[in-house]
Amino acid sequence: MSVSKSWHQLISSPDFVNTHLKVNSIHRVLFPGINGDFNFSSLLPSTVQMGSIALISSVVGTATGLICLYNYKGEIYIWNPTISKSKKLLNLPWGSSFYMKYGFGYDESRDDYKALFIDDESDLTYVVNIYSLRTDSWKTLHDQFKDVFLINLPAKFVNGKLYWTASTSFCDINVRKIISFDVAAETWGSLELPICGEDNSNFKLAVGSDLSLIYTAKLVATSSDFWILKNSGLHVSWTKRFTIEYPQNVGIYMGSPTTYPFSTHLRHSTKGDILLSLPGVIQIFGGSTRKLEHTVDVVGCDPVEFYAESIVNPL
Confidence of residue 12 (pLDDT cuts 50, 70, 90): low
What integer pLDDT is reported at residue 53 of this predicted model? 37
Higher pLDDT, 85 or 264: 85
Average of per-residue pLDDT across 173-196: 86
Q: Per mean pLDDT, which of 69-83, 93-107, 131-145, 255-269 is the most reliable?
A: 131-145
Average of per-residue pLDDT across 27-49: 45
> What share of the chain has pLDDT > 70, as a percent?
57
In this structure, of 64-68, 127-131, 166-170, 300-304, the range with the lowest mean pLDDT score is 300-304
| Pairing label, strands 274-278, 212-215 | unpaired
List the CATH code of the domain at 5-305: 2.120.10
What's the pLDDT tens digit per position in 50-108? 333 333 457 888 888 888 888 767 788 888 877 778 888 888 877 666 668 899 999 99
Chain centre to alpha carbon of residue 209:
12
What's the pLDDT tens digit per position in 210-249? 787 888 776 666 777 888 887 755 677 888 877 777 666 6
pTM metric for this prediction = 0.78
**CA atoms of 35 and 177, how far apart (whole Å):** 36
**CA atoms of 295 and 283, how far apart (whole Å):** 4
End-to-end CA distance of the chain: 17
List the chain domain ranges.
5-305
Residue 111 has pLDDT above 80, yes or no: yes
**CA atoms of 242 and 220, how far apart (whole Å):** 19
Average of per-residue pLDDT across 303-315: 70
Average of per-residue pLDDT across 122-149: 82
